[in-house]
Structure 1
């Protein structure tokens, strides 16, 4: 369903066609992905909840509002196949970042540089965290994109809020169930109870963020659809994740 300013098309009709803002959205998504892995994933912060007291949460939640608006935009505006391309680009960028982090940490420090221990403390877990993040990101993003694309077809393009929230509930459940045990179970400072607490807290917070950001998602999606002049549907799309062709 369109408002008259966008032309409803099948995803296959725009295969290989350059779109005005697709590359910009891809670059923004990959940048936020890398920043969330480096800056947010390894730190547990705490918030004092009224009536409950101190409650731990992963600092990576700060990146979620941006990353999931972009993730929803990719599938809703550009279709599953172009979202799939971005997921693979993000995967490759994360692998490269992990490899470079390992090399940089392993390089012998200069004799007069005294920050090696602090550097290892901050970045020493990056390979494990990135491996967990890579697995969780890959699975969670594909679940999110698949659910959103299928719901769009089933709903005839109506009720965007239902698609964005429903896909987040499914995608973030998969993401969190993979990421936190792989990244932190058995790690220093992480008890099994803390892993479970942060896992469910992150999932609930991310779903809540998606609900709160629904007006922003509507604005961005509407603006991009008007700019591109298209409303893409995945009625005949091959949903295999194991390709990157658009």
Structure 2
């Protein structure tokens, strides 16, 4: 039960921090957050935990905040800024992957105590990097397009929760499908489906939980 309660607290802290970032730094803060969250999510995803009777990876919450950030950008500044943020996150993740793989090639000093730990974490990232990068790019673009389409067809002063949940839940489903199909290619079907299902359930919960935070962000007065 500790993990579940701590996970809920963890989610509240993550979503609150993005609001603080946006409140202080405005649109620039959201761009920075997206770059940071894509990197942190791919580090956290290497840790497995038990949640709600399921084995799941960490990283789903911080990854979900990237979708919240693009939705805020889309809502308040338009589709083009949201697309720019997607590409920023994409290239940030590529840069981190390349730099850490190069860093691991240095021969550590005899007094070094972190090489093994770094190798354990970052040697796994290339295995999931392709799946993660493609899933991120495809799902974020779909999120931006769906959000913009709903926004254009429904009154902009209403149905914010429809835009947010409709775009994020569909894009997260696509994200999970692309990522698990690539990262867990060759895994037996029953195991693959369990990974796919549990991952999406967690992302679905995260997507629903970020809605109140989008309403708060919409009230912040930052210039166009």
TM-score scaled to structure 2, two decimals? 0.80
The CA distance in 1 between the partners of 2:155 and 2:113, in whole Å, is: 60
What do the CA deviations read for 1:25-83 (whole angstroms, capped 9, x no partner)? 11111111111112x22222112x4xxxx311111123145323212112111111111
Number of the residue aligned with 2:207 = 210
What do the CA deviations read for 1:71-108 (whole angstroms, capped 9, x no partner)? 21121111111111111111111111111111012222
The CA distance in 1 between the partners of 2:119 and 2:202, in whole Å, is: 30
The CA distance in 2 between the partners of 1:99 and 1:178, in whole Å, is: 22
The CA distance in 2 between the partners of 1:87 and 1:129, in whole Å, is: 19
Query: Could you tell me which of 25, 42, 48 is aligned with 1:44?
Result: 48
Pick the structure with more strand per residue: 1
Q: Does 1:141 align with 2:174?
A: no
Query: Could you tell me which of 194, 197, 200 is aligned with 2:197?
Result: 200
Contact 2:45 2:57 in 1 (8 A): yes
Pick the structure with more helix per residue: 2
Contact 1:42 1:129 in 2 (8 A): no
RMSD: 2.1
The CA distance in 2 between the partners of 1:192 and 1:108, in whole Å, is: 40
The CA distance in 2 between the partners of 1:118 and 1:195, in whole Å, is: 28
Q: Does 1:117 align with 2:116?
A: yes
Contact 2:48 2:58 in 1 (8 A): yes
**TM-superposed deviation, 1:110:** 2.3
Pick closer, same or farther for the CA change 1:106–1:191 going to 2, 3 Å. farther
Which segments of 5 or more consecutive residues in structure 2 lack a partner in the other structure? 1-24
The CA distance in 2 between the partners of 1:62 and 1:81, in whole Å, is: 25
Contact 1:105 1:120 in 2 (8 A): yes
TM-score scaled to structure 1, two decimals? 0.73
Report 1 or 2 for greater relative contact order, CA contacts < 8 Å, sequence distance ≥ 6. Answer: 1
